[in-house]
Structure 1
Amino acid sequence: MSKLTAPQLAPIQIPRPADSPGRRFLRSFLKHRLAVIGLLTLIVLGLLAACAPFLTSYTYDGQDFDIIGQPQAPSRTYPMGTDELGRDAFTRVLYGARISLMVGVLSALISTGLGVLIGALSGFYRGSVDTTLMRFTDVMLSIPLLPLVILLSGMMRPSVALLICIIGGLGWMGTARLVRGLFLSLREREYIEASRALGGSNNRIMFRHILPNAIGPIVVSTTLAVGSGIMLESALSFLGMGVQPPTPTWGNLLNNASQWLSGAPWLAIFPGLMILITVLAVNFLGDGLRDALDPRS
């Protein structure tokens, strides 16, 4: 007599939740170790700059009159040494980070905003609008940026706000050409034609449908513009055309240290390292964002 066997039931498979774009982006970004290191570095630098009054007992223009005349080497009292006026170099580097990072971030936001607006109008409307805006962009690109910024800074007293506006107002051309190319490509997609057929206005199509699909390259461009802004501010301050002493920036700290390179090299080493670390971190972050936002990756 044969034995009856119970029918075997197939195991119940619970469907996995759909992988959201945010999770894909985060997973791809975390795989880029240098980008993660760059992001953490920028966070640490931002916290150090924001908490500068709590991390040092000195003010950026406070002087130790007992040691005026000759820079002092790094010690327990002054971890990064002092300058010839008896000011703590560590305190000045921290406060300099505030200005340099603020100039880099805000100028990048201004240049990105202008570039997105001009590129979007040019790529969407095409025709005479495109021709006019792109020829103006070509003219701006043909002018060397650093000499132009130096000229404008020399004509006006270079305050922090003015320096941000000058750097941001003269750095939008690359973003404009990038956004124009994206808009020329995206405006021909089927969903744009559908939105236009449903009566969508030009502004709605541009900023509601096209711009969100172009946000990836724009974010990467903005990130890289931060590094360019920091470098340009440092170059201007080093040449004496940027923020004027006693307000410290990494650039004018280098300018002040140039006359002490042989006797007190630490005055140039520490602000120079801060510029190097910050720009590298920004570039690593930009590379990671570019890979994570690339739909082909």
Structure 2
Amino acid sequence: MAETTLPAAIAATKPRSYWSRVVARFLKHRLAVIGLCFLTVMGLIVIIGPIVSPYDYDYQDFELIGMPSEFSQSHWLGTDELGRDALTRLIHGGRVSLAVGLAGAVIATLLGTLIGALSGFYRGWVDAVLMRFTDVVMSIPTLPLVLLLSGLFRPSPPLLVAIVGILIWMGTARLVRSQFLALREREFVEAARALGAGGARLMFRHILPNAIGPITVAATLAVGSAIMLESALSFLGFGIQPPVPTWGNLLNSASAWLAVAPWLAIPPGLCILCTVLAVNFVGDGLRDAMEPRE
């Protein structure tokens, strides 16, 4: 009897994989799950919304030009002073803002991971040079740099993505460096080195996969920073220029009508707030799931 029940007992106690445990811990984080659901719904809206909307983002209703109009059956969030549908522009602006934020965060994560990996693995003068370069970039004030770049080049989505990525990679680089400094001394790295693995193989085949958890968390949090930075730049007039809408320049254009048409400013402001909060909640949930304290 004992022999027949032993395999069943072993199967019942078979340990779960790392990622299954991560998913289980993430699902226990209620705010993270709510944030992920919100981001999923928001992503579907900004992807599908412009396709099903009866208006283009720059379509003008000439009967409504002059003053913002209130909600109606034809325009659920009203129109702006140029007779353009506010809901359509809000959805299209979300597509642009989220795309710029995601692309900027990807660039920042890749750049920060590369610099941090080289610095933490090779140490010595390589570490000194790269970390001093990181300190110099961190010390440059953001606004003067953006003013300079905006004066030299006409803001466009690719340029804005590059600016956002260049301005937020430093935190990821420091995090990856600390991970590589700790992991390069582990036994599995020493074993791979003894078997003849070169520097590139050690970094990207053995060490980097073991640092993917903190990098994933840093990348998630970078998305929120990138969205905030893009919105701030567009609000100040140094981001993507009208008539292409973004949440930031929608806030900028609505600021002149706050007294008479506050409904133009509230939706883009709430979208920025809720999206950044949701991204941060997801980042917190991933951090707790991938790096449990217990």
TM bin, normalised by shorter chain, reads: over 0.9
- Identify which of 175, 179, 184 aligns with 1:178: 175
Shift of 1:23: 1.1
Matches within 5 A, 1:251-270: 251-270=248-267
1:4 corresponding residue in structure 2: none
1:143 corresponding residue in structure 2: 140
Post-superposition CA distance 1:40-99 (Å, at most 9, x none): 111111111111233310000001111110101122221111100000000000000111
- Identify which of 236, 242, 245 aligns with 2:242: 245
- Identify which of 72, 78, 81 aligns with 2:78: 81
1:41 is aligned to 2:38:
yes
Shift of 1:144: 1.9
Counterpart contact for 1:81–1:90, Cα < 8 Å? yes
- Identify which of 201, 205, 212 aligns with 1:204: 201
2:216 corresponding residue in structure 1: 219
- Structure 1: distance between partners of 2:51 and 2:240: 24
Shift of 1:166: 1.1
Q: TM-score, normalised by structure 1?
A: 0.95
Matches within 5 A, 1:1-297: 9-10=1-2, 12-13=5-6, 14=8, 15=10, 16=12, 17-297=14-294
| Matched letter for residue 229 of structure 2 | L
SS of equivalent residue, structure 1 residue 248: coil
Query: Which stretch has the larger CA shift, 84-93 or 138-147?
Result: 138-147
Post-superposition CA distance 1:173-228 (Å, at most 9, x none): 11111111110110000111110000011100000110011111111111111111
- Structure 1: distance between partners of 2:83 and 2:141: 39
Q: Of Structure 1 and Structure 2, which has the larger fraction of its residues in helix?
A: 2
Shift of 1:29: 0.5
Post-superposition CA distance 1:115-134 (Å, at most 9, x none): 00101001000001010111
- Structure 2: distance between partners of 1:146 and 1:274: 24
- Structure 2: distance between partners of 1:76 and 1:36: 34
SS of equivalent residue, structure 2 residue 82: coil
| Matched letter for residue 111 of structure 1 | A
Post-superposition CA distance 1:248-286 (Å, at most 9, x none): 000000000010000000110010011011001100000
Percent identity between the aligned chains? 65
- Structure 2: distance between partners of 1:167 and 1:146: 12
Query: Which aligned runs of 4 or more in structure 1 are off by greater than 4 angstroms?
Result: none
Task: Sort the Cα spacing of 1:75 and 1:273 in 2 relative to 1 into closer, same or farther, 3 A.
Answer: same
Post-superposition CA distance 1:17-57 (Å, at most 9, x none): 32111210110000001111111111111111111233310
SS of equivalent residue, structure 1 residue 262: coil
SS of equivalent residue, structure 2 residue 133: helix
Q: TM-score, normalised by structure 2?
A: 0.96
- Structure 2: distance between partners of 1:91 and 1:134: 45
SS of equivalent residue, structure 2 residue 5: coil
Count of paired positions: 289
1:3 corresponding residue in structure 2: none
Counterpart contact for 1:146–1:232, Cα < 8 Å? no
Shift of 1:296: 4.0
Shift of 1:155: 2.0
Shift of 1:151: 2.4
Higher CA-based Rg = 1
